[in-house]
Amino acid sequence: MLAAVSQTSVHLTLQSRVLAALLGLGFTIAILELIRRHKLQERYTALWLLVGIGLVLCAVFPQLLAVAADALGVRDTNVALFAVLIGGLVLVVLHLTVVVSKQSEQITRLAQELAIARAEPPPAVEEEELAAPQPRVGIMP
């Protein structure tokens, strides 16, 4: 493993590492703040938090990226960084799509439940009205 790591060199400048760390940290804090304000539910934040914390970890320990780069078969840690980020984003988007699908199904069902609950019984027909011939509008004979 150590030999493999030494093959891939870490191509991250200090500047990009600091930037990535700050970005990841800011992102994580933003997520926590959104939860605190009840704008985000905890159940949808686990993946986002993983992405944020992962970014910080990669910036602080670039060796992690070297391991990832080696596993992916790429020589450059920058490529590995992007691969990890894009992988994380794809996961989050997929998760959200699953949630959206489930919710659209549930919204349909809720609308149906509401319509059924609100469905009024047919108006009570008076005796005289029954006797009189009903005009047929829009009904096929």
Partner 1 sequence: MTVQESSEITPERQPPGRTLVFMPAFNEEFTVAEVVRSVRAELPAVDVLVIDDGSSDGTAHVARRAGARVASLPFNQGLGAALHTGYLVALRGGYDYCAHLDADGQHPVGELRRLLATVWEERCDLALGSRYHPDGTPPAGGYQPTLARRIGISLFRRLLTLTCGTSFTDTTSGLRAANRRAIALFAHRYQPDFGELESLQRSVREGLRIMEVPVRMLPRIAGSSKITAPHFVFKGLLVVFVGALRRAEHQERPC
Q: How far apart are CA 14 and CA 69, in angstroms?
A: 18
Start-to-end CA span in the chain (Å):
83
CB of 97 to partner 1, least distance (A): 19
Give the per-residue contact string, 101-130, with partner 1 (x = CB under 8 A; - = no).
-----x--xx--x-----------------
Contact status, residue 50 vs residue 24, Cβ threshold 8 Å: no
**Residue 35 within binding range of partner 1, rule CB under 8 A:** yes
Q: How far apart are CA 10 and CA 18, in angstroms?
A: 15
Largest CA distance in the chain: 98
The residue type of 43 is: R
Choice between 5 and 35, CB closer to partner 1? 35
CB of 25 to partner 1, least distance (A): 16
Q: How far apart are CA 9 and CA 63, in angstroms?
A: 9
Q: Which of 45, 76, 79, 88 binds partner 1 (CB under 8 A)?
A: 45
Choice between 24 and 62, CB closer to partner 1? 24
Choice between 21 and 47, CB closer to partner 1? 47
**Residue 38 within binding range of partner 1, rule CB under 8 A:** yes
Contact status, residue 87 vs residue 128, Cβ threshold 8 Å: no
**Residue 49 within binding range of partner 1, rule CB under 8 A:** yes
Residues interacting with partner 1, by CB under 8 A? Answer: 32, 35-36, 38, 41-43, 45-46, 49, 106, 109-110, 113
